[in-house]
Structure 1
Amino acid sequence: MLTSQRKKSILDALKRDGQVLAKPLSEAFGVSEDTIRRDLRELAAQGKLQRVHGGALPSSPAVANLAGRRAIGTDAKAAIGRAAAQMIAPGQIVFVDGGTTAIQLARHLPAGLRATIVTHSPNVAVELAEHEELEVIVIGGRLFRHSMVTVGAAAIEALGHIRADLYFMGVTGVHAEAGLSTGDLEEAYVKRALVARAAETIVLASSEKLNAASAYMIAGIDAASTIIVEKSTPDAAIAPFEPFGVTIVRA
């Protein structure tokens, strides 16, 4: 079998099974585990999978830059953002993450809502500028242009002084084994700090993020109380999260 054919078969198995392991693949193809590991390294370098110990998981397309992510699942993200906005009650203090789905949340907040929104996303803050009843707190730090959010020690220090009722988390991967993940280490640290300072974490997860993984783990699935998915999400796609006691909301 040619290398290109073997790689295609690996990707087909990954799509079918949700994960692949190096040893069974080496036995199936009659090649060494080193050969399979090389295949996995090369496929990972092309962004086609996420390597883990012993094998690989699907890679999330949501690690693309902000401009690229705006074109992915726009209707679904609007529906998820609308459902998330309806969960905010008057008087609450709410963390809102960065990203394209979080922007949809901001756009769907009721005009007269009186609450406090804390965000490390300049784009989310701008979306809320016309909401005169909202108190908007912008967390400073180094601007991470890929996601248009602030990261670093200054951001984490500022978050340490706030206790929030809700945290609406954006992720690039939601996987039963790999947990909640993102494509940047510093961004993962900030998200972890947000989880620690919120009474409840709600994950915004359009379909391309489900059962996919990125390089940097934020927390396990059980850190989320709720995951909001699009209405058409197949039952099989959310079944792996049920043992964690997470509430699934279809938007």
Structure 2
Amino acid sequence: MQLAEERRDAIVDAVEREGRVLAAELATRLATSEDTIRRDLRELDAAGLLRRVHGGAIRRQPEPSFSERATTDLPRKTALAHGLRACIRPDDTVLIDAGSTHLALARLLDDGCAATIVTNSPQIALALGAFQRTRIVLLGGTYHPALGATVGAATLAEVARLRLDLALVGVCGLDPARGVSASDPEETALKRAMFAASTRHAVAALNERFDDSAAFLFGALSEIDHLVLEHDAPAASIALLRQHHPALDITITTKAVA
């Protein structure tokens, strides 16, 4: 019988050699169940040895900078942003979490779309800087260049004092069974506080994030009111979401146009 450590070493070797592996193929190759392989992939992802994606895993690449992410897959992110914009009401106090999809949203918004917009992203605040009717509040804290966000104890304390109508919170992973997650523990604590400070919660997820799980959970799907997914998000997983979370408002975007 193959030991768990040997099996995981074999998985890492396969990912390094092939670049991408499928859970079903690994289960056959290593004579074990897909559930076991998926559990291995979660643990290996958390250890930073590979990147778990829908259906399998890929070789982990260095994280791109925020400025690089802001210009990557812009049509797809803009399509998600249109779905998020529909969640915002004119009288709302809205928190927009840092992130490249949320920056695309900020560029779509009109002055007066909300009463107040609060953000931990200097880039988002600048994109909204000409607004007169909508008040823009930038949260303080320590600026994290890779995240394009302010984080840390000061930011967390400011979020804890907020009373929000809507929080648009970025995710690194969205798993129909486990919930929404992030890759950085400090960022995770901040996202959890954003959930706690708001009455309504909206999340948009690219396919790379959907049905995936980063290391640190910060919320359950039952806490989300609005979920925006891409037009070609996995149909089986969407069906699971609708079955287990019938109250969840799911928006499927139209196909992005380059």
TM-score, with structure 1 as normaliser:
0.79
Give runs of aligned pairs for residues 203-242 of structure 1, distance below 5 A.
Answer: 203-242=203-242
Quote the residue 2:96 is aligned against: 96
Secondary structure of residue in 1 paired with 2:94: strand
Tell me, in whole angstroms, the C-alpha distance in 2 between the residues paired with 1:41 and 1:232: 27
State the partner residue of 1:250. 252
Structure 2 partner of 1:184: 184
Task: Output the CA distance in 2 between the equivalents of 1:5 and 1:111.
Answer: 50
Indicate whether 1:7 and 2:14 are aligned: yes
Identity score, percent: 24
CA gap 1:140/1:168 in 2 versus in 1, 3 angstroms: same
Shift of 1:181: 0.9
Instruction: Give 1:142's aligned residue.
Output: 142
Q: Aligned residue pairs: how many?
A: 234
Deviates more, 1:146-155 or 1:93-102: 146-155
Larger mean Cα displacement after TM superposition, 120-129 or 76-85: 76-85
Who is 2:51 aligned against? 48
Deviation by residue 1:78-106 (Cα, 9 ceiling, x = unmatched)? 01112212321112100101000000111
Structure 1 spans left out of the alignment, 5+ residues: 51-55
Structure 1, residues 147-199: CA drift from partner, whole Å, max 9, x if none?
11111111111112211111111111101233211111110100000000100
Residue 84 of structure 1 corresponds to 84
Change in CA separation of 1:161 and 1:230 when aligned onto 2, cut-off 3 Å: same
Change beyond 3 A, Cα 1:45–1:107: same
- Structure 1 residues 69 and 225, CA gap change in structure 2 (3 angstroms): same
Alignment-derived partner of residue 166 in structure 2: 166
The runs of at least 4 consecutive aligned structure 1 residues that moved more than 6 Å come to 59-62
Structure 2: 5+ residue runs without aligned partners? 1-8, 254-258
Q: How far 1:6 sits from its partner (Å)?
A: 7.0
Mapped partners of 1:76, 1:131: distance in 2: 26
